[in-house]
Chains A and B, each alone.
Chain A
Amino acid sequence: MTQDQAKQIVDKILSHATADDVRVSINGGSSSNVRFARNTVTTSGSAQEVSIGITATFGKKNGSYSFNQFDDKTLAEAVKKAEELAKLAPEDNEYMPPLEQQTYPTVNAYAKATADASPDFRANIAKECIKLAMQKSLVCAGFVESGDNFSMFGNSKGLRAYHTSTDISYSTTARTQDGTGSGWAGGGHTDVAQLDGSALSNRAIEKAIASANPTEVAPGKYTVILEPEAVSNLLGGIGFRMDARSADEGRSFFSEIGGKNKIGQQVFPEFVNIMSDPTHPDAPGSRWSEDGMPSRKINWIEKGIVKNLRYSRYWAQKQGKEAIPGPSNLIMEGGTATLDDLIASTDKGILVTRFWYIRDVDPKSMLLTGLTRDGTFWIENGKIARSIKNFRFNESPVAMLKNIEMMSKSVRMQGGSSANLIPALKVKEFTFSSLSDAV
């Protein structure tokens, strides 16, 4: 949907409204994919979707209705449905009025070639991976998805914002036929031209072969080399946890006794810098955040100090602070080393390709549990010595950041719906609590 079409829908919705304040968000796009496994295609599809959300407010009473049809009759009825809900709602004493027109950053997140990627293009990535895997007598499974997205946000105070983006992502897992080895590789980009499917397929294949017939290393604390995917897996949730309200309310790692928070405290080593920047060319984010607040560059951890926490508009007003939108992406500053340098610098340690099934164990310490997967190796005298069995870990990303010994350059990682820039890390005293038989 073009900007003009989306604006017209917002205007039509607002023309039907009787509420004091109205907010409209429209999100949609097309997405196409092919999935393969057992060296053959399994499913493949394409879908176009649009979702329109209306929040109507009378005084401080809110109601929301979302739907996916946009003929004139449905639009008029939808406004009424949101308004009916609002009239039934009690007053929200935290209600904030809509924002007026804001200035939004320019974000280049759209590549026409990605939007135009054909079923044949996706099938060919899968076809090549299957061919390469079969040449090595491996079995592969993978997923290629490409598409374009648009977002529109508008309100009854005249605010209008529009954003388009494209994404292509590809990941593949190669396994040895005897089931003792498994290797994974994946990547995602805005522009299809930047995706090197062959390189990713070959990487997964090499890892599968190298990881066959793993031996046991006893659980315990080890120096680990975490590849960017593994670091991204552990850091992924940290953005959501950097919230001032939950910290001030005493229910977060970032809480301090007495209703205070950790802003200004040196929590991590001086070389730890984590920020978000929606305009970064390698990891573009969204132009706005909640309620139409413009996204911007924000330092979350600067030289190891907690610099900012997210402040919603309401909490900022209550605490007399500036509203800070949540992170639109996660950019961790890396070092100058390569992954090979990290390995070469390690006398004894463990190389982790990625983690799986990560869950919170203790929110106060941010303790997480999960398992290694698809390529875990023993490093000795600066070299990968052999494949080892997977572990369960119980560790906190806070401890991980505190125990960093070395970092590679940051690379683009796909973290759920956002693109992130994350380095590989060498980390001491990482806690593995048990062995897993899973390959």
Chain B
Amino acid sequence: MKRRDFIKITAASSAAIMLPNALIARQQSTPSFSDPDFKKLADEALNTARMSGASYADIRINRYHNQSISTREKRVMNISNNENYGFGIRVLVAGTWGFAASHIVTKDEVARIAKNAVAIAKANKVIQKEPVQLAPVPAYQDIWKTPIKINPFDVSIADKVGLLLRLNEEALKNKSVSFCSSSMQIANEHKFFASTDDSYIEQDLYRMLPSFTVTSVNKETGKFETRNSLTEPVGKGYECVDEKFLMDDVRLAADEAVMKHTASSVTAGKHDLILHPTNLWLTIHESIGHPTELDRALGYEANYAGTSFMTVDKLGKLKVGSDIVNIMADKTQRDGLATCGYDDDGVKTKEWHLVKNGLFVGYQTIRDQAHLIGEKESSGCCYADSWSSIPFQRMPNVSLQPGKNKLSLNDLIADTEDAIMIKGRGSWSIDHQRYNFQFGGQTFWEIKKGKVTQMLRDVAYQANTVEFWNSCDAICSEEEYYLGGSFGDGKGEPGQSNSVSHGCCPARFRQVNVLNTGRKV
């Protein structure tokens, strides 16, 4: 199958959402999908499922293209391309889900797998306590594509390898640096979705992550220190690769890895913290992103990822943060890793509040769970990481909104008497209901009387989610906004991976418990 450049075709306007599905379908013009066989295969799946007794069915015909390049010092360790193609069919039979998938993408196999999915649903009917209900969704016939400027697969291997080796070389110019490894991950997800709700949706999504790690071994003490890059994965094309930024960061990383050997070990106890966005995004992800997943709150993840302290009875009542804390969920944010046109339920994506003025006001939902909290529509958070995976609720981009008063990071530091500033993503861990977390970082800086005074080491902060967010007393303004994110967030059984972005500005938190993690064994 050859890819074409897709033209964005708007299908259903927001005004059309109230119209019956059949009417919408008639009004839409079918876009030119990149492969005419997609629709034929989809119709075979949907018709076979219906004929076999399904009240609802959908099919995803997906192709994944990943490229990975990894290097260390002067050596290229790996250059690999991976392509993976197949389809998965999901059916509802008498209110019970069934799913089956195959890598053989033919009409006969599609029909066979549709029947398998129905058979699995029928086998599980005996343990279905309450029939599955789906929130209504308009029919869409549309094409959506990540708005990339440079297709990362069009950039030569030599250019990519050259950049990574230059980064390693630059780090090793610092004579106290022992090793530098660097890598580039590129992901393309090409998806065709069709459902018995008359939707046919094609999407072409891109994500990228260039990164490095600098290591300094002190041969006299036998100790070693590392500093990872502060680059983040984004939903963009190769235009996100900024060589000047990477070179500046690798030089700084080399200096900081060496500095860590002689940095002062932190004094454990309560400290004010200024969390740089390169650190804060992961705290948002773990302490707000995951507990506002409705499936967790309802117990769907109890056997693995856990449940949530943000239970349904606390919706609209729990003051999870201070008044200045506003956190939005969205799958529409530019450059976001979770950004797409439609989720894997065929729901058009949007943005909404999870936390408004410190109050917990919203969940992340999908079609088969929205009704359980009395909502009339899904918020569009359904995702499967492969054609062979079962779609379920996954995190959208979740971002802390900038402070309303103008405040730069320098202003915030100047306004702070005694604190620790933390940059970069370090060790992270949080309990299965998302109360108690512990985070490290890449670098730690002492702030005294409004100035950065020295580097610290052995720092981890440990807090209760509600106490932590209620201790937030300053958030910088939008010119400091930064988009961090995770390329691989795990959840579900069998485990699935999701990519998700988190935007935020530097913020200050008062009197957080800090541990000293230095240890001899």
B130 part of interface (Cβ distance < 8 Å): yes
When distances are taken between beta carbons in the complex, the residues of chain A under 8 Å from B81 are: 64-66, 81, 85
Interface 9-mer from A140-148, A287-295, A329-337, A338-346: A140-148
Shortest beta-carbon distance, B422 to chain A, in Å? 14
| Residues in chain B near residue A85, CB distance under 8 A | 79-81, 157
Are A44 and B121 touching (Cβ within 8 A)? yes
A366 to chain B, nearest CB (A): 7
Q: With an 8 A cutoff between CB atoms, is A34 at the interface?
A: yes
B408 within 8 A of A: no
| Closest residue on chain A to residue B65 by CB atoms | A67
A250 and B224 contact, CB distance less than 8 A? yes
Docked-complex contact A365 and B519, CB < 8 angstroms? yes
Residues B517 and A249 in contact, CB atoms below 8 Å apart = no
Query: In the assembled complex, which residues on chain A have CB atoms less than 8 Å from the CB atom of B13?
Result: none
Min CB distance B158 to A, Å, is 6
Q: Are A46 and B101 in contact (CB under 8 A)?
A: yes
Among candidates B217, B220, B521, residue contacting A365 with C-beta atoms closer than 8 Å: B521
Which one, B127, B221, B300, contacts A126 given CB within 8 A?
Answer: B127
Q: Are A367 and B519 in contact (CB under 8 A)?
A: yes
Are B392 and A43 neighbours in the complex by a CB distance under 8 Å?
Answer: yes
Contact partner, A64, options B78, B430, B440, Cβ 8 Å: B78
Instruction: Check if A310 is an interface residue, CB within 8 A of chain B.
Output: no
B119 surroundings in chain A (CB, below 8 A)? 119
Judging by beta carbons under 8 Å apart, are A88 and B129 in contact? no
Do A46 and B116 touch across chains, with their CB atoms under 8 A apart?
yes
- Given A371-B436, A394-B517, A398-B521, decide whether A123 and B123 contact each other with a Cβ distance below 8 A: yes
Residue-by-residue, is B263-307 near A (CB-CB < 8 Å gives 1, otherwise 0)? 000000000000000000000000000000000001111111011
Q: A40: nearest residue on chain B (CB-CB)?
A: B129
Interface-located stretch among A14-22, A251-259, A273-281: A251-259
Is B99 a contact of A402 with CB atoms below 8 Å? no
Q: Is the CB of B299 within 8 A of A175?
A: yes
What residue of chain B has the Cβ atom nearest to residue A86's Cβ?
Answer: B79
Query: A39-68 vs B: 1/0 string, CB under 8 Å?
Result: 111111111111100000000001111111
Residue contact A44 to B513, C-beta cutoff 8 Å = no
Nearest-CB residue, chain B, relative to A71: B104
Q: Which of A44, A184, A396 contacts B97 (CB 8 A)?
A: A44
Chain B residues, Cβ within 8 Å of A46: 99-101, 116, 120
Task: Determine whether A207 belongs to the interface, using a CB cutoff of 8 Å to chain B.
Answer: no
Q: Does B481 contact A (CB under 8 A)?
A: no
The A contact surface, by secondary structure, is strand
A179 vs B83: C-alpha distance when bound (angstroms) = 44
Interface locus among A107-115, A380-388, A428-436: A428-436
| In-complex Cβ contact of B299 among A32, A141, A253, A390 (8 A) | A141
A437 in contact with B88 (CB, 8 Å): no
Closest residue of chain A to B99 (Cβ to Cβ) is: A45
The minimal Cβ–Cβ distance linking B58 to chain A, given in whole angstroms, is: 13
Contact pick for B102, options A48, A92, A394, A398, CB 8 Å:
A48
CB distance from A139 to the nearest CB of B (A): 6
Query: Is B156 in contact with chain A by the CB < 8 A criterion?
Result: yes
Q: Which 7 A-B pairs have the closest CB atoms?
A: A45-B99, A119-B123, A40-B129, A64-B80, A438-B433, A250-B217, A436-B436
Q: Point out residues on B near A: beta carbons under 8 Å.
A: 74-86, 88, 96-103, 116-117, 119-121, 123-124, 126-130, 156-158, 161, 165, 178-179, 215, 217, 219-224, 226, 298-304, 306-307, 309, 311, 388-390, 392, 427-436, 438, 440, 458, 460, 462, 464, 493-494, 513, 515, 517-521
Chain A residues with a Cβ under 8 A of chain B? 31-51, 62-69, 81, 85, 88-90, 92-94, 118-120, 123, 126-127, 130, 139-143, 145, 171-173, 175, 179, 182, 184, 249-251, 253, 255-259, 356-362, 364-367, 369-371, 373, 390, 392, 394, 396, 398-399, 402, 433-439
Taking A139-B302, A367-B519, A438-B306 as given, write out 9 further A-B residue pairs in contact, using a Cβ cutoff of 8 Å, ordered by the A residue number.
Answer: A47-B388, A48-B103, A62-B79, A89-B157, A141-B299, A365-B521, A369-B460, A371-B436, A434-B462
Q: List 19 A-B contacts (CB under 8 A).
A: A38-B300, A43-B392, A44-B124, A45-B99, A65-B83, A67-B85, A68-B84, A85-B79, A119-B123, A175-B302, A179-B311, A249-B178, A250-B219, A251-B217, A356-B306, A362-B519, A371-B436, A396-B519, A438-B433
